Amino acid sequence: MDHHLTIDRSACAGHGLCYGTAPELMDCDDQGDPVVITGPLTATSLERARHLVDICPERALSLKPR
């Protein structure tokens, strides 16, 4: 089953840990808000994405099945 990262914009406080930790999965827009830059996750990127979900201080990231 494919998974993808999602961002709860109302919960995100813009700490930047996600795109600072995994720039291959996340980036930021001109306002510093995170943007997911990858589609369905591979086995390797899924582990990185799980790490991002775990370290997000606002719990704004989640993994969803596709």
Q: Beta strand pairing status for 34-36 and 61-65? A: unpaired
For residue 36, the model assigns a pLDDT of 94
For residue 63, the model assigns a pLDDT of 95
For residue 18, the model assigns a pLDDT of 95
- Please, which residues have CB within 8 angstroms of residue 62's CB and are 6 or more apart in sequence? 5, 6, 8, 53
pLDDT in single tens digits along all 66 residues of the chain: 789 999 999 999 999 999 999 999 999 999 989 999 987 898 889 999 999 999 999 999 999 987
For residue 39, the model assigns a pLDDT of 78
The domain defined by 3-65 carries CATH number 3.30.70.20: yes
For residue 50, the model assigns a pLDDT of 96
List the domain boundaries for the chain.
3-65
